[in-house]
Structures are given as C-alpha cells and as structure tokens.
A and B are shown apart, each in its own frame.
Chain A
C-alpha cells in the first residue's frame, strides 16, 4: 500500500561545497497516520519537512529522488504548479510561535489570507472557517481573538492559533516542525494532545519533526531515526521503544532523560556507536559514488 506521502531515495546536497545532507531517504506516510522524524541537530529531519513543503533554502539542491504527494511527484511539476499543489494539500505547524506570526498584523487576516489568496476562497467563507478552527483549538472568544495582535496572546495561545491556521484549509498532510520546543512542559502536553485530537478527527497525515523521543512515544504511530541525513531505523513506535534495532537508536534512547528510571537514562552516546554509524554512512556513500 502506498502512502499519501511517499519519499523515495531522496538525496540532497549543499550547492557549492557538495556536502551531502540527505542520503537516499525513504519515508512512507499513509493517510491519517503520524510519523515522527527523530534525530539530533544536523541530522536532516527539518530538511525533509522543508523539502516536502517546497521551502528548502536555495543553497540546498536535491540530487535525486521522488516526493510523491497524493501520487504526484512534487519534484517533476513546474514550481507554480508545485506551490498550488502543496498549498491545497499540505500545511505547516512551525516551531516558534513568537516569530511565526507577523507582529504588526491582526490574527484574523493571518489565518484567512492563505485561504483567500492561495486557495481562492471567498472572504466571508474564509472568515467563518477561521472562527470555526479557532473554536476547535479551544480558543475562547474567537471573534475577539481574530482582532488581536500576536503580542496580546501568550505563547501557548499563539501556538494554538498556528495549529488552527494549519488545519484551516483541511489539508491532508501537516508537517509539524518541533511545534512545542519553545513551550513549557505543561503547555506542551496540552498542545500535543490538541494536535493528536485534531489529527485523528480530520484523518490528517502528520509528519512530526522532533528531537524528543518522549514526545514521539506519545504522538506518533511510526518513526524514522535519522543520522547524518540517513534513515538508520524505520519502525513502529511499539517496536522501537520495546527493542530499538540500530545501535545509534539504542544509544539515543538511552541518552534520553527519564525521571522514572534515572540510572538507566541520560547515558552519553558511546563514541564507538558514533564511529560505527559514520563508517556505515561512509560505506554507503562509497557504494553510491561507485554506481553513480
């Protein structure tokens, strides 16, 4: 069965230096399911999300591979068509609620603009949809909040608004890029529960980029562990937390803090594991350049 989002053999590199950023990444995300992209900084997890949404920095060039969204290869359609496709079918929940909203514009238009300008909705319809989604993310007095400026709201409220905005156009896919990293742990719990509830209710496929394995265990169905731009493990959440297969995955899990078992958590990643992972990648690179 092929997923709503299928990434096949995606490789990317830095233009200029040629440094490899993504190494033949395969990811399959069926409609309505949640996949976590896990890894440390620089592993390429955010980059995959950006590639799916077509917002890679100019300096990153895709070398080969396919990104199939609803069966259509985003890398093969012209840019204008790609933007329309992505705008209609996918949305982003960004990381930082403080900078993701324009500080000098009211909340309302920041939600409706995308519906009107990109999807061509009528203004009245967009406005009523905005009210609907704001209510859905439990924002009190949505009419009043639509007229407020971002600085008049707390970080948690802003993140709710960004979630509402992401769900407004009823996308089939949402990329959430570390959506709770900037929030307090109590607010994080509320926000994650909210995202999960909305995702389940709307049957949205969710690509969840995070560095936090704790969050993955609560939110995701499947996960891909990334190291240096390569998927080192692709498995279900149950199997992963019961018995991670790749040595790097095991080390990552052991390094994650766990207050219920302090002695077994926060174990530094052994250098041997890192060396082995690097060797594995070097070998894959060598094989790749030999056949290419």
Chain B
C-alpha cells in the first residue's frame, strides 16, 4: 500500500507536468494565434498546394507542417483550430460540469422526489443515441459555435449527474455526514461543506475528461460538417478535408489528428495528475 502509493506519486509528477505542458502550449496557441501563426490560416494559394512538411524534400520555407489541397498553411490552421477546441473545452466542459454536478448532488443528497425526477430524466436521456441526438440538435439549433456547445451540454450533463449522484449517495452513508447532523449543520451546509469536498475529486476528474470529450465531439461534428462555418479552421474540419487526400498529402490529416490526440489525452491525464497531487487523502 505504502509502496504502491510511493510509486504512484513518482509517476504523478511526470503525468502532471507533461500534460500541463501540452495544455499550456495549447492554451497559448489559442490565445496568441494571431501573433504566432506564421501564415494567414485562410489564405489560399493554388501555387503552394500540398506542400510537404519542412523536413521533407520539396517543402517551402515558412510552411513548417506543409499546406493542404487549397494551399493553406497546416500549422497556422492547427493554431487557429486550437481556439475553437479551447472554447468548446472550457465553455462546454464547465457548463456541463456545473449543471450535471448540481443535479447529481441534489439527487444523491436529498433523495425523495427530487431524486426520482432527476433520475428518470437521466434514464430517458441516456436512451437516446448521443451522436444522432447531437446531429438532430444541431439541425434544430443551426450550426455555429454556440450550437455546438449547447448540444454538448444538453447531451453530456447526464454523465456528471449519474456519477456525482452515485458518489454523493456513497458519501452520504458515511458517519461524518451523520456527525454533521449531530453537530446541528443545516442540510445545505452539510452538502456544501462536508459532502462537496469529498465529491470534488470525482468532479474534477470528470471535468477534465469532459473537456477532452467536448473537443472530440466538436471534431466529430466538424467532420460531418455540422460544426462551425468554414471561415474558422477546426481540427475536425481539417481531419475531414485531409481524409480525401491522405495518399497525396498525409500531413494534412496526421498533424491535426496528433494535436487532437495529445489534447484529449492531456486533459484526462491532467485531471488524474491534479487529483494525485492535491487530494489530501491520496497524499
């Protein structure tokens, strides 16, 4: 046990730092996109189409990761694509987390009719196939960043709600909750000051996971052309376009895919790393 804990802790350092590093790069890229991207991400130049990355023969200086079939710079498009990914991850992730966790806490702690209503809604929600549900929602809401975020929140709040409710139920059975009652705490205070700190690690882990999932969902919607206008580069859109020219220009597909992969992975690892680093119980 002790030894296992020691081992985990050593790994946690690397996990937290590596994922944190990638997420920092990701956030900086999104925020500083206009300053750091080497080219205009929308500028088409048919003379420069399908240029390979800098280290492959036939490349052109200034186009580090090559260009796509319309001659647009892949690196610049990935950097600008980070903006959409970041917005979706933050806004959709946080909104999903807040709504789902709040409902989960209420259902798990107060039980009774609140729990019955919330749990039934979750059951019904879960019966919809999520991808079809998303496509349907976008069709109703119209395309655009807001619609994408709204669709993610509407679909994914149940993930938080279910897990947070289950964990709240578990914690509610612990004697420290009874002891709070004996101490004369109000129900709300017990929920916020006793139970919430113990459910928080789960919420944080889910939140970071959800941020990754939000990025993927946005990419999937872009892939089926249901996300945002073509004026704004997105990783999903790039992957969709790159797919058509995979044999002539693999880099158009591979680099946004790598960016997507590392971002999603880093979110999950970052959550796990945070928990291992800051949870007093694990320490």
A residues bordering B, Cβ < 8 Å? 14-17, 19, 57, 59
Q: Is B58 an interface residue (CB 8 A)?
A: no
Pick from A14, A15, A17, A59 the residue with the most CB of B within 10 Å.
A59
Please tell me if B175 contacts chain A, counting CB pairs below 8 Å: no
Complex A-B: 16 CB contacts under 8 Å:
A14-B2, A14-B3, A15-B3, A16-B2, A16-B3, A16-B6, A16-B7, A17-B2, A17-B3, A17-B6, A19-B2, A57-B1, A59-B1, A59-B2, A59-B3, A59-B4
A16: chain B residues within 8 A (beta carbon) = 2-3, 6-7
Residues in B whose Cβ lies below 8 Å from that of A19: 2
**In the complex, what residues of A have CB within 8 A of residue B1's CB?**
57, 59
* Nearest opposing residue in chain A for B4, CB measure: A59
A270 CA to B239 CA, complexed, in Å: 72
Residues of B near any A CB (own CB < 8 A)? 1-4, 6-7
Q: Tell me what chain A mostly uses at the interface: helix, strand, loop, or mixed.
A: loop
Q: Which residues of A contact B7 (CB under 8 A)?
A: 16
A19 to B4, CA, bound (A): 14
Closest Cβ of chain A to B24, distance in Å, is 32
- State the Cβ distance, B183 to closest chain A Cβ, in Å: 29
Minimum CB–CB distance from A112 to chain B (whole Å) comes to: 33
Chain B minimum-CB-distance residue to A59: B3
Nearest-Cβ distance from residue A41 to partner chain B, whole angstroms:
13
Closest chain B CB from A22 CB (angstroms): 15
Tell me how far the C-beta of B115 lies from the nearest C-beta in chain A, rounded to whole angstroms: 27
Alpha-carbon gap, A19 to B5, bound state (A): 14
Minimal Cβ-Cβ distance residue in A for B1: A59
How distant is the Cα of A16 from the Cα of B7 in the complex, in angstroms? 8
Give the 5 A-B residue pairs with the shortest CB-CB distance, closest first.
Answer: A59-B3, A16-B3, A16-B6, A15-B3, A14-B3
Other A-B pairs, 13, CB within 8 Å; known A16-B2, A16-B7, A17-B3: A14-B2, A14-B3, A15-B3, A16-B3, A16-B6, A17-B2, A17-B6, A19-B2, A57-B1, A59-B1, A59-B2, A59-B3, A59-B4
Q: Which residue of B lies closest to A61 (CB)?
A: B3
Q: A residues within 8 A CB of B6? A: 16-17
Bound together, the chains give a CA A17 to CA B7 distance in angstroms of: 10
Q: How far is the CB of B12 from chain A (nearest CB, A)?
A: 15
Which residues on the B side are within 8 Å of A15 (C-beta)?
A: 3
CA A59 to CA B2, docked complex, whole Å: 8
Q: Compute how far the CA of A15 lies from the CA of B1 in the bound complex, rounded to whole angstroms.
A: 11
What's the least CB distance linking B66 to chain A, in Å?
48
Expressed in whole angstroms, the Cα–Cα distance for A14 and B5 within the complex equals 12
Give, as a whole number of angstroms, the nearest-CB distance from B5 to chain A: 9
In the docked arrangement, what's the CA distance between A59 and B4, Å?
7
Collect the chain A residues with CB atoms within 8 Å of residue B4's CB.
Answer: 59
The CA of A16 and the CA of B6, in the complex, are separated in Å by: 8
B7 smallest CB distance to A (angstroms): 7
Q: Nearest A residue to B7 by beta-carbon distance? A: A16
- A15 CA / B2 CA spacing, docked (Å): 9
The interface centre, meaning the residue of A14, A15, A16, A19 with most chain B CB atoms within 10 A of its CB, is: A16
